[in-house]
Structures are given as structure tokens and as C-alpha cells.
A and B are shown apart, each in its own frame.
Chain A
Amino acid sequence: MNQKMKWCLVGLFCLSLFFFVVQQKNKEKAQAFSATFRMNLIAEPPTLDWSLATDNVSIRVIENLMEGLAEYDAALQPIPAVADRWEVSDKGRTYLFHLRKDVFWSDGKPVTAHDFEYAWKRLLNPKTASEYAYFLFDIENAAEYNAGVIQDSKRVGVEALDDFTLRVSLKKPAVYFPSITTFTATYPQRKDLIERYGDHWTDPAHLVTNGPFLLDEWRHEYRLTLIANETYYAGRPSLDRVVFYVVSEETTALTLYETGDLDRVSLPPIAILQYQHHPDYLRAPFLRGYYYGFNVEKAPFNDARMRQAFSMAIDRTEIPRILKGGELPATSWIPAGMFAHNPKIGLSFDPEKARRLMSEAGYTQGSEVPPITLSFNTDPTNTLIAENIQAQWKKNLGVSVLIDNMEWKVYLRQLKENTPQVFRLGWGADYPDPDNFMNLFTSTSGNNYTQWGNVEYDRLISEGASEPDVSKRVAIYDAAQRILTESDTPIIPLFFASQNLLIRPVFEGLQVNAMDLLHLKKVRLKSTQKEKF
């Protein structure tokens, strides 16, 4: 055997040894996932301080560490959690929350009404500079305290009457208020710990929580590990551990699912077609609407007939065809999965009527219409939709529309300072009540970029927020939606989004809901899998 051959053999041996070790490692990894649920977060959680968290990523972690007065059931109705029950009086202006006496913080201290009073006032305190302080603006003097108009926090309408009774006084009746108390920003907090540890009170070494899981490890930009809370009041969760990996790239997350490193992933649009018949695939509605808005002060959209014409010239069924993500075409604004959703409302595709309306507005031909620019933030999905709708407007109305995309923050500044003629935006539910969607377009809403206002619409939304009778509320929101999407048409609703997921079938109890809330306390390994592992 010559020298070269010897070296070749040594090389081959080393290579085989390397691959053997690697394979063994993979096997060990596969065996290690007995009662551990692993999923990805699309970014590092900016904070775990629930007074300051505003993003889905932070909220996803917090909602498994903490519990508030109420939580959602499977139908997204608020049900008691830390609160045992609540009473409504004073024509819907006063809420009395009675707390359970068996709920404890992870350091053994009981969760009291004082913890809620402290947390809510901290949220509203201008020094906290919380973005979600407005969630509590329905409470008496809350907005005034947050704006610094009043200094004394005792004047804010929230008070712990004793350790287990919390009284909340509202400015005006808000039937959706129990839904607000499910939100992470309203969870209780420990004054003693926040004062002791300052900004570091959410570090794993200091964080004290009351939910089904406890924060065990937080390796920034990479991984958060949660472990089961043995003293959780509703019983220890079935999962031993939950590991959240920070994996921003959707296709990387998908590869990690395929290699067995993740147990739940959201599918990137490009992969939906390939996986839609996969046994682990799941599609669910999502309370998120996508719309085009008009600046009603800029020609030609200062004429409602032109806005109606442009809405009627869009065949929305083309959107799921081009996006392929199971989007639900929409002509109305309250999303599917929420009460008062009514798909019969809105202007459906009718190019002939659209041309007639345009003619009535004084434009017999598309070329007579003043130049129009459709603006949106840079994103491949937004581009696909804009190009499709640009082509539809050209085909159905003969109007040439320019499309213009901008980086996100530049776009937001443009919306604020010089709202384009037509712009794209979306809205995701903060709480599953029509008020959250319809309130967006009142004349006083900071999120209404259309410059449109309608006194009747404002009155209906205010009435809807305080009306306790569900059937009457439906009628009120139907009327309001007709103004918004038919008669005045300051916006064109386009579609409601869907969730496209892969969930490893060895787990059960994972309720996928339209709010994309992920409560892992009910997740468990199937009994057959327990035996296996």
C-alpha cells in the first residue's frame, strides 16, 4: 500500500467517525423531548415587563407566565381567572371583581387586589411611559392621570377595597371591559419586587409570577426556557418545559420543524401550497383585517362615488389566489370569528356599476381621472396585492394608478404628515370585540388616517360600546358598517388573514384561536407518546 492510499484510508476513517458521532447526537436529541414543547419566536422579546410589552413576541411569553382577572375560553369569551366572579352595577359603570383566595405568586405570597391596583396605576403613571396605558382609559380619571392633568393616583377609578375585592369605576359604560382584563398589560404586579430590582425585576433570577409556567432561563437573542409551576392554582401543567427559540427566518423555522427541533411553526406563504396536505397542517382564522384607505380630502377621492367605484372595481377573490394563504376576501370590516361579522355588508365586485359611478362623478374615461398613487410599506405581500389591484383598476375602470412603496417608519411618517391618496394598513384585534375594529374610524381616533368623519358613525360606535344587549349591538354595528363600507367608503376592506401552522401531532390540547393567543397550560403529550418516551 503506497503512502497516498494510507492517507486516503485515514481520512475516510476520520470522516466515518465524525458522521457516526453526529448521528448519535441526533438520536439523543430526538429522545430528549419527552414533555418539552419547543417553538420559535420571530424576534427577541423586547421586554417581559407586562406594563411595557406591546409586541406579540413578548406577549406570547408573558401570557404563559402570568394570569389576570379574566381569560378567554375557546370561543374567546372572557371567563374568570384570578377573579372568581365580577358584578356590574351603576348602569355598567362600576365593576366589582372578587378575587380567588387560592392564587399565589411563585414566591408563595397570595395574589391580592392591591397587586392589581398597583399594576394598573403603574401602567397609567406617566413616568412608566407605557404605550398600552390607553387600554385603561375607560376608567375614571385614567387618561387625565396619564396625561399629567391630575397628579393624585387616588383619584383614578381603581381601588382595592380589601385583599380580595377590586372596584373599578368607568367614565362611561363599556360592555367589553371584562375582555380588557384578559390582556397582559392588566396583569397584577408586585410593588415590593419592582421597587427592589428596578429595571431588572423581569430577570429570571428576580421574576415572580402567578401563571402556569415559570421563567427558568433567558438567553438573550436566542432562547427562553419556561418550567412548570408546581403551585399553579389550577393544577400543575402537563408539560415539564417550554422552550422558545428566537428564530426570525420562517424557512429556517420550517427546517427546524422538519429536523425535529421545533414542535410548532407558522408556515411561510411560499410553503403553504407544499404543506397544505401534510398531516400536521392546520389552518385557522385570524382576527386581522387588511384594507386600503382613501384620503378623502384629496381628489378624486373627495367624492364618495369615486371611492365606491374603486371599491367595486376590485374582485377580492383574486387575493387568496395570489397569496395562497387561505385569506378570506372581505367587503365588510368586522372580521370573521367575531360577533357582528356580516359578510353581506359592503360593496361587492361590480365593474359595470363602478364605471357608472365614475361617470356620474364626472369622469367618463379613466384617462380623465387625476393622477393617483397607491402607497404601501415595502413588503413582498403588499407588493403582490398592490400590483394585482393596480391591474384590476386598469382593467375595470381604465385608470392608471402609480404604486409607491416605502420603508415602514418612513411610511408611517408619511401617513401622519401627508396621507397619500390611497394607502395600505391592517388591524389586529387587541380584544375580540367589534368595538376594537370599528372604533378605529371614528373622527377622534388617532388611527384614522382617512381624514373622514361622520357624526352618525361616531354616535353608533359610542352606542355600541355601552349597549349590553348583544342582538341590539349587532344591529348597531351593521348600521355603522354600512356607513363605513357602503355609503361613505373611506376604506376598502380587502381580506381577513389566516394562520397556517404545523403542529406536531404528539401533542394535544393546543387550542388555536383567532386571536393567536397561545395558552400552553392545556397542552399535553398524547398518552401513547408518554409510554414511548
Chain B
Amino acid sequence: MLRFSLRRILWAIPVLWLVATLTFLMMHLVPGGPFDREKKLPPEIKANIEAKYHLDQPLQIQYILYLKRLIQGDLGPSYKYVGRTVNDVISDSLPVSMQLGFAALMLSLLGGSFMGIISGAFARTFWDRLSLFFATAGISIPNFVLGALLILVFSHYLKVLPPALWEDARSVILPACALGLGPAAYIARLVRASILDEMHHDYVRTARAKGFSEMRILFHHVLKNAITPVITILGPLTATLVTGSFVIEFIFSVPGMGKFFITAVSNRDYPLIMGVTLVYAFLIVLANLIVDLLYPFADPRIKLQ
């Protein structure tokens, strides 16, 4: 397992380099620069600013300078947030996104699995249809609509939860629901399909022949196998949720990192674009590694190679 983990970590280096290089090239291909303004800057002032950030250098020199800094763990200065480095911006905002993301992840895992089990165990009954209704609604309602709806009901009418801001634990509830209900619905459908598939296997027939109760078969035998597809999607889902969501952070005024995926691009804040992309890529690699390490526990037939 140690060798496997080390090899995967080493593989992460070329992956991150490739992501950094492609992002660097693509963002410089997009028209418009970081210091293009509605009120045009006098040329001498623009020249001063570009010199300060080495934007007056040829692209290949900028690329080498960036990689040099990156190797030292320095993501560079933000062009938008003057005096702050990208490391500062990310270290301020990522923990908030992670708090919200983990809350949403727990909600989607627990809620989704629960709905999926009910659905699978009571297939084609009222409970299955009810679960299907919630799952379809969860998948088809975009999270910005759900967010607005939650604010309307719980903040506007019932006045029991804050509509926005990040003051205390109560502030997490609405954004976590808005963020987590979509994935929960997806997980519910996945678990249901897996359970129904597993129920037709020979080992279930054997267990039934032995006289085990349906509950015991479901929880002791079927669920272990049915949960494997959920573990597969857990990697990218975790990375997506913990790096934040632009829409949810925007609606609920959450001081997280998700907004920078959009605003850094619209501001052409090149170092910040690179920074958030690399953090996202790194988390994807890390989450997938953890998922791969978890597989053998869920299904002993899987061997790490």
C-alpha cells in the first residue's frame, strides 16, 4: 500500500505540471488583460504596472518565472488583491469552503445513502416512489434555485435561519443543504440501482436459503457491495464540494474559495487562476488516491497494484 501511495504521489507531479502548463497557455490566449479598465490607463502607468508583475516579459520568460516560484510553493502575487499573495487568498478562503464542503458531503452521503437504501429495499412501493420523487427533484432543481427557495422558506417566512453570512454553525445549514442535495439525489439513485443489481446475485439467494432475514441480507451482505460505486464518485465529488461553489457562495455570502473560479477569470488575475486551478487539481488527485486506498476495504477482491 505504501509503494502504491508513493507511486501515485509521484505521478501527481507530472499531472500538476501539465495542468499548470495548459492553464497558463489557455488563460493567456483569452483576449483582455488584467489591467484593461473602463477608464483607460495612461500608457506610462500601464507600463509601470506591467513591469511590476513581469507582464512586459515574453510569455516563455513569464512561464519560467512562474514555474520557479511554484516549485518553491509560492503561487505569486494576486493582481486584483494588491499586497496579498495567492497563498494568502487561498489560505483565507479554502478552510471556509472545506467546512461548507464537508457539511454538504456528509449530508449527501448520509441522506443519499439513506434514500437509496429505502428505495432499494422497498422497490416499487410508495417509499421507493417518494424517494424517486425527491431524487428527481434534487437532480433537476439547480442549486441556485434551491438556495433561493431555502432562503425564502427558512429565512423570509419562518425566520429560523440566517439568509446569508458566515457567523455561526447555523449559517452552514442552508448553504450545505443547497450544495449537498443535488449530489445526495444522485447518490440515492446510484445506491438504489446497486442494491437492486446485487439482490439478483447467487450469494443473496444462498443467504435467503439459509433463512436470514431480509434486513440482515441487506445490511450485512448486499450493502457492502452496493456501496462500491458510491466510493468511486466520492473522489471527484469531495474535491468539487470542498473547493467551494461560486453560485452558493455568491447567494449565501460565504467567504469561500469557490467564487475565485469565476472572478479570477473575469478579472484576468492570472496567478489566482493558476492557484485555484492547481489547488483543485491537487485535491482531485488526493481524493482519488484516498478513494483507491479505500476500495480494498469495501471489496477485498480489489487489489492495489
Contact = CB atoms under 8 A, between A and B. Distances in A.
B8 to A, nearest CB: 33
Nearest to A445: B40
Contacts of B92: 220-221
Given A255-B155, A410-B31, A147 B44 contact: yes
A248 interface: yes
A527 B92 CA distance: 40
Given A221-B255, A447-B39, A413 B93 contact: no
- Please indicate which of the listed interface residues B156, B163, B256 has the most CB atoms of chain A within 10 Å of its own CB: B163
B166 interface: yes
B25 interface: no
Interface stretch (A125-133, A227-235, A271-279, A513-521): A125-133
A19 interface: yes
B268 interface: yes
A143 B48 CA distance: 12
A208 to B, nearest CB: 16
Contacts of A412: 32, 36-38
Nearest to B78: A46
Contacts of A350: none
A222 B255 contact: yes
A25 B39 CA distance: 46
B233 interface: no
Contacts of B37: 54, 131, 412
A131 B49 contact: yes
B49 A129 contact: yes
B155 A259 contact: yes
A46 B80 contact: yes
Nearest to B50: A129
A255 B81 contact: no
A254 to B, nearest CB: 10
Contacts of A131: 35, 37, 41, 45, 49
B31 A413 contact: yes
A15 B51 CA distance: 61
A514 to B, nearest CB: 18
Contact of B36 (A147, A202, A416, A425): A416
Interface in A253-273: 255-256, 258-259, 261
Contacts of A146: 44-45, 48
- Please indicate which of the listed interface residues B44, B52, B151, B259 has the most CB atoms of chain A within 10 Å of its own CB: B44
A207 B163 CA distance: 33
A54 B37 CA distance: 10
Interface residues of B, number: 51
A248 B253 contact: yes
A131 to B, nearest CB: 6
B44 A143 contact: yes
A416 B161 CA distance: 48
B301 to A, nearest CB: 39
Contacts of A46: 80-82
Contact of B32 (A44, A49, A147, A409): A409
A199 B83 contact: yes
B33 interface: yes
Interface string B166-183: 100010000000000000
A413 B32 contact: yes
A246 B163 contact: no
A49 B155 contact: no
Contact of A25 (B89, B148, B166, B170): B170
Contacts of A127: 48, 52
Nearest to A47: B82
B266 interface: yes
B93 A256 contact: no
B221 to A, nearest CB: 27
A222 B171 CA distance: 13
A220 B164 contact: no
Contacts of B58: none
User: Size class of A's contact patch?
Assistant: 35 or more
A328 interface: no
Contacts of B162: 259, 261
A447 B40 contact: yes
B297 interface: no
Contact of A248 (B48, B88, B250): B250
B252 interface: yes
A407 interface: yes
Contact of A255 (B43, B51, B164): B164
B114 to A, nearest CB: 16
Contacts of B159: 23, 26, 259
A35 interface: no
Interface in B29-84: 30-33, 35-45, 48-49, 51-52, 80-84
A219 interface: yes
A130 B45 contact: yes
A295 B45 CA distance: 26
Contacts of A425: 38
A236 to B, nearest CB: 28
Contacts of B52: 127, 129
B160 interface: yes
B165 interface: yes
Nearest to B158: A19
A448 to B, nearest CB: 9
A162 interface: no
B32 A126 contact: no
Interface string B90-122: 001100100000000000000000000000000
B251 interface: yes
A133 B156 contact: no
A289 to B, nearest CB: 12
B293 to A, nearest CB: 33
B36 A409 contact: yes
Contact of B89 (A19, A220, A248, A251): A220
A533 interface: no
Nearest to A54: B37
Given A256-B165, A259-B162, A129 B48 contact: yes
B227 to A, nearest CB: 27
Interface string A488-501: 00000000000000
Contacts of B252: 252
A297 interface: no
Contacts of A255: 151, 155-156, 163-164
B258 to A, nearest CB: 11
Contacts of B83: 47, 49, 52, 199-200, 202
Nearest to A255: B163
Interface in A130-152: 130-131, 133-134, 137, 143, 146-148
A178 B163 CA distance: 44
28 contacts: A19-B160, A23-B160, A46-B80, A49-B82, A52-B82, A52-B83, A129-B45, A131-B35, A133-B48, A134-B45, A146-B48, A202-B83, A220-B84, A220-B89, A221-B256, A245-B165, A246-B255, A247-B165, A252-B151, A255-B155, A259-B162, A261-B165, A409-B33, A412-B38, A413-B31, A414-B31, A446-B40, A446-B43
List 10 A-B pairs, minimum CB-CB distance, nearest first: A409-B32, A221-B255, A222-B255, A147-B44, A47-B82, A199-B83, A446-B40, A412-B36, A129-B52, A255-B163
Given A221-B259, A408-B266, 11 more contacts: A44-B81, A129-B51, A134-B45, A222-B165, A246-B255, A247-B164, A247-B253, A252-B151, A407-B266, A411-B32, A413-B32
